[in-house]
Amino acid sequence: MLLIVVDANGNQQTIVAQNQGAAQDYSGTIGPASGDDDQVVAPANANRAGCYFQNHGAHNMTVSELGDASAALGPFLVPPGQAWPPAGYPVPASAVRVAGTLGEVFLYREWSTLPPDDTV
């Protein structure tokens, strides 16, 4: 959506505001439903506008937007109480995976863009 605003100097500026839907909550625990410590937290989403992961467990977790979260290279290490993604990191469109200690809790929320015909 295009918005016309006036800046502090009285100049008219046109900005683009991206519509966002309500946050979806994918929070949960590591395993044991799959019997594995590596799982998909959220499926791929081409309309994902933002996401937030926080480790609520007592041990390190790894998060990956590139594939296997337990792989030796690529995943982000998220210590207890810490969050991912880092500030300024691009929003991933692929599936988000997590690996960690079975039974440990994590928070994951994401929000998506709305179709162009929806309004804020």
- For residue range 15-59, what is the model confidence (pLDDT) as tens digits? 665 566 788 999 999 987 655 567 899 999 988 989 999 999 999
Say which CATH topology domain 21-112 has.
Jelly Rolls (2.60.120)
Nearest-angstrom CA–CA distance, 17 and 120: 10
Query: What's the pTM?
Result: 0.73
Domain locations in the chain as residue ranges: 21-112
